[in-house]
Amino acid sequence: MGRSVTALLPSHPELTNLDIDIRQVQLLAALGELNNVSAAAARIGCSQSAASHALTKLRRKLGDPLFVRTSEGLRPTVYGLGLARAAQTALETLHEAVEGPRPFDAATSQRTFSVYMSDVGQTVFLPTLLAVLRSEAPNVRLRVSAIPPAQQAIPLESGEVDVAMGYFTTLTNGFRQRLLFRERYVCVTRADHPQFVQGMTLDAFRSVPHAVTTSSGVGHQSLERFLDSHQVRRRVTLAVPQFLVLPMVIASSDLMVIMPSQLGDAFAKLMPIRLMTPPVRIPSYDIRVYWHERFHEDPSNRWFRNLLVRLFQRAADTVAPPG
């Protein structure tokens, strides 16, 4: 954030209620460089008489001659020199602010990006994201935060968090978003589960013991409500806080868990588990990237969210349903 003009001016007793307009600041900066009223007037686009009048007002207001005539021409007093330099700095700061932020150079940036991700999102997104950052932005750092149960918007509004990835219902007013993909649920069991030799059936779904998570976000709360509304009863014998432990448990037990397909795909590459389509049509849900309107034009935020879209956006029909 650029400093104000008065914050850049040197300390002086008369500055307590200082009222210096932009033209006077321009004049001080020009006089400090040119040491000539006529040249300074031409530089800022006013007449010599107007510049002389403005300088007189400043001398009277500040109680200092500011610039005096010498054998070598007009020269600043000690206070005038400090004032001129401060005016030049103030104008440079203002010019930079008006021009806007500099382009973001991912290859050299040392910026830290902060992201909201659920435990599922961290498992699905981070391996790919970190690999690309290592290649394209090797000095960029990533800070991942768990999604808070309330007031999710405030850190995004302030800039404490740059983007949110996942399924959100609270990031509406003042937020922008891009769809990454439509996620669906799958049923996961161990690969050789005897109840599913012939595939998924509603009877088998109801008869086997289920594992569930207790704090995995809005989307999974909606899943529970959907199953209840369709009288799909489950025999729940295990409840854990997060999804990540469940594939290890499932691989060596008779339990079943309903989980997002992307998470199931990730764990199916590591352990002997089987993914199956649920016996009832569970609605899919959208995975999006969100950012606040305040940072829509910020070059670094734009680069990061565009990277996320490039890496993870896909058509919903590009992934075949599990067997």
Query: What's the pLDDT tens digit per position in 167-203?
Result: 998 899 999 999 999 999 999 999 999 999 989 999 9
Cβ 257 vs Cβ 188: under 8 Å? yes
Helix (H, G, I), strand (E, B) or coil at 274: strand
pLDDT of residue 217: 56
Cβ 195 vs Cβ 207: under 8 Å? yes
Cβ 65 vs Cβ 77: under 8 Å? yes
Neighbours of 237 (CB within 10 A): 13
User: Could you say which architecture CATH assigns to the domain 185-276?
Assistant: 3-Layer(aba) Sandwich (3.40)
pLDDT of residue 134: 96
pLDDT of residue 218: 53
pLDDT of residue 219: 57
Mean pLDDT of 58-66: 91
Which of 82-91, 92-101, 240-249, 291-300 is the least confident region?
Answer: 92-101
Neighbours of 9 (CB within 10 A): 21
Residue 255 has pLDDT above 50, yes or no: yes
pLDDT of residue 1: 37
pLDDT of residue 135: 95
One of 3.40.718.10, 3.40.190.10, 3.40.47.10, 3.40.50.300 is the CATH number of 112-182+285-318, namely: 3.40.190.10
For residues 14 and 282, the model is more confident at 282
Which of 159-173, 223-237, 239-253, 305-319 is the least confident region?
Answer: 305-319
- pLDDT tens digits for 112-129? 999 999 988 999 999 999
* Chain mean pLDDT for the chain: 87
Q: Where are the domains of the chain?
A: 5-99, 112-182+285-318, 185-276
Please state, in angstroms and rounded to a whole number, the distance separating the CA atoms of residues 73 and 82. Answer: 19
pLDDT of residue 101: 65
Mean pLDDT of 289-310: 95
Token representation of residue 222 = 């909606």
Q: How confident is the model at residue 8 (pLDDT cuts 50, 70, 90)?
A: very low
Rounded percentage of the chain residues whose pLDDT exceeds 70? 89
**Within this chain, domains 5-99 and 112-182+285-318 share the same CATH topology:** no
Top CATH class of 5-99 equals: mainly alpha
- Radius of gyration for the alpha carbons in the chain, expressed in angstroms and rounded: 32
pTM score, two decimals? 0.69
pLDDT of residue 99: 67
Cβ 303 vs Cβ 203: under 8 Å? no
Residue 17 has pLDDT above 60, yes or no: no
Residue 136 has pLDDT above 50, yes or no: yes
- pLDDT tens digits for 39-56? 999 999 999 999 999 999
